[in-house]
Amino acid sequence: MKAVCWHGKEDVRVDSVPDPEIVNQGDALVKVTATAICGSDLHLYNGYVPGMHSGDVLGHEFMGEVVEVGSSVKNLQRGDRVVVPFALACGNCFFCQRELWSLCDNSNPNAAMAEKLWGHSPSGLFGYSHLLGGYAGGQAEFVRVPYADVGPLKVPEGFSDEQVLFLTDIFPTGYQAAEYCNIQPGDTIAVWGCGPVGQFALASARMLGAERLIAIDDVTERLELAVQQSDAEPLRPSEVGNTLQMVETLRDMTQGRGPDACIDAVGMEAHGMGLEGWYDTVKQSIRMETERPIALRQAIIACRKGGTVSIPGVYGGFGDKIPLGSMMNKALTLKTGQTHIHHYLKPLLERIENGDLDPRFVITHRMHLDEAPDAYRLFCDKREGCIKVVLRPDGRI
C-alpha cells in the first residue's frame, strides 16, 4: 500500500510499504478515506521529536471504513465507517477507567523509552515516534487499529468525512484546552497560536461562554479566520514586541486584570522576538534545550492572578526560563496533556449535529495522499494561506 513515510528532517515521501494485518485479536483494519496533517506533525517534520526512525508511517488524524476485525472485536464489523482517536487506549487500565484515555497504561509497547525521559509513559499514539509506541500512522491507504472496541467511533448516516474527520484530534484538543480553562461568565481567554488547534480552542471557548477572545499570531489569514469564525480580537506579536511588551499589552487590553485564562496552542517551536527569540533558537539548535517555550512564558506572565494556563501545545523535553516565580506567586493553575479524545467523541459529534460548530471552517487545502510531501512543505511554510490540509488516498476531493 501507499503511505506517507518520515525519512528525516523535512524529508517525507510517499512509499510503498507492506499492507497491515490483524495482529492482535482486538484489532481492526481500516481503509482510510480521509486523513489530515496536524500541526504536531510539523514537530516531527522539523526533527524535534526524538525516537523517529526512517520509514516510519506518519499521521494520527484519520478515518475510514472497517475492512477486517479480529476475532474478539464486538463493537465493529466490516463496512462500518469510523473516526479513530489519535491516542490508543486499552479501555481496561486504571487510567482508561477514569477517562484519562491518553494516559493509558497499556498501549505503548515502548513505555520503557518514555519512562526514561518522562518518568512514566502516556498512551501510544498513531504515527508519532517510537517513544510513543512506534505505531504506523494514518497517512496511508490502510491502518491497523488496535483496541478496536475501545477507540473508533461509528459515524452515523448523514455526515461527510470532512465534517467528522477532526474529531480524531484537533476539535477535541481545542475543546479540551478551552474546557480546562473553566470559563466563567465575563472571562477573557487569550490563545497563543492560531493554527488548527488554536482555532478550535477559540471556537470552543466561544461555545463555552467566554466574553472576550484574544487571538495571538503573526499569520494574517489565521488571524482573519479567528476573527471571522470566533469573533476574536487579533494581536500580532511582531507588532507588540518582546515578552514584557506582550504582557503589558494584554494587561492594557484587559484594564489591568490580564486574561482570565491563557491557552498555549503553540508548543515547542514558538518564534520569539528579539533577544529572547535568539536565545531559544540558539539553545535549541545546539540541543541545550529541547523547546522554544516562548508562548508558554508569555502565557504564564500574562495570565490573571489565580487564573489558568492551559497547554494543548506539544512539548517533548526540557525548557529554559519557565517563569516559576510568576506561576507560584500568582497562584496559577496549569492544565495540560495529550487529549482524552475518547471522552469527547460523542459530545462533540452532537455539537456538530446541532450545528454549534462546523469543523470544516479550518480546511484550506484538499489534496491527494500522493501530494503529501508538497502538503507538508506548504503547511510548514504557511504558504498559500495554508491552515489545514486534508489528504485523500483515493484522490476524491
Partner 1 sequence: MDIRAHEERLPRRAAASYHNVNDQERKVSLLAGAGSLIFALRRGGLFGLAVGALGGLLGYRGATGHCPVFARLGKSTARPSDQGLFGTAPLHITTGVTIGREPQELYQFWRGFTRLPTFMKFITEVRPSGEQRTHWVAESPLGGKLEWESEVIEDVPNERIAWRATEDSKIAHSGEIRFRSAPAGRGTEVELDLHYEVPGGNLGKAWKGFVKSMTEQAIREDLRRFKRLMETREIPTNAVTSIASRQRGPQ
What's phi and psi for 125, nearest 5 deg?
Answer: -125, 150
- Residue partners of 22: CB distance under 8 A and separation at least 6: 28, 29, 68, 69, 70, 144
CB of 315 to partner 1, least distance (A): 23
d(CA 357, CA 350): 10
Alpha-carbon span 129 to 56, nearest angstrom: 8
Q: Is 388 in the site for partner 1 (CB under 8 A)?
A: no
| By the rule CB under 8 A, 133 interacts with partner 1 | yes
Asked if 25 interacts with partner 1 (CB under 8 A), we say yes
DSSP, collapsed to helix, strand or coil, labels residue 63 as strand
> How many chain residues bind partner 1 (CB under 8 A)?
35
**329: contact with partner 1 by CB under 8 A:** no
Least separation, in Å, of the C-beta of 8 and partner 1?
Answer: 20
User: By the 8 A CB rule, do 265 and 298 touch?
Assistant: no
> In which residue are the cell numbers 491516542 written?
87
21 touches partner 1 by CB under 8 A: yes
**Closer CB to partner 1, residue 284 or residue 338?**
338
Q: How far is the CB of 129 from partner 1 (least distance, A)?
A: 11
**By CB under 8 A, is residue 109 in contact with partner 1?**
yes
Alpha helices in the chain (DSSP H): 39-45, 94-97, 111-118, 161-164, 170-179, 196-207, 220-230, 237-240, 243-253, 274-285, 294-302, 324-329, 341-354, 372-381
Contact 213, 232 (CB under 8 A): yes
Which of 9, 11, 23, 118 is the binder for partner 1 (CB under 8 A)? 23
CA 169 to chain centre: 6
Q: How far apart are CA 103 and CA 373, in angstroms?
A: 31
Q: Is there binding between residue 152 and partner 1 (CB under 8 A)?
A: no
Query: Does residue 93 belong to the site contacting partner 1 (CB under 8 A)?
Result: yes
From the list 78-86, 100-108, 362-370, 380-388, the region that binds partner 1 by CB under 8 A is: 100-108
90 binds partner 1 (CB under 8 A): yes
Residue 292 contacts partner 1 per CB under 8 A: no
Q: Return the number of the residue (97 or 228) whose C-beta is nearest partner 1.
A: 97
Per CB under 8 A, 184 contacts partner 1: no
List contacts with partner 1 (CB under 8 A): 17-26, 72, 88, 90-94, 97, 105-112, 124, 130, 133-136, 144, 146-147
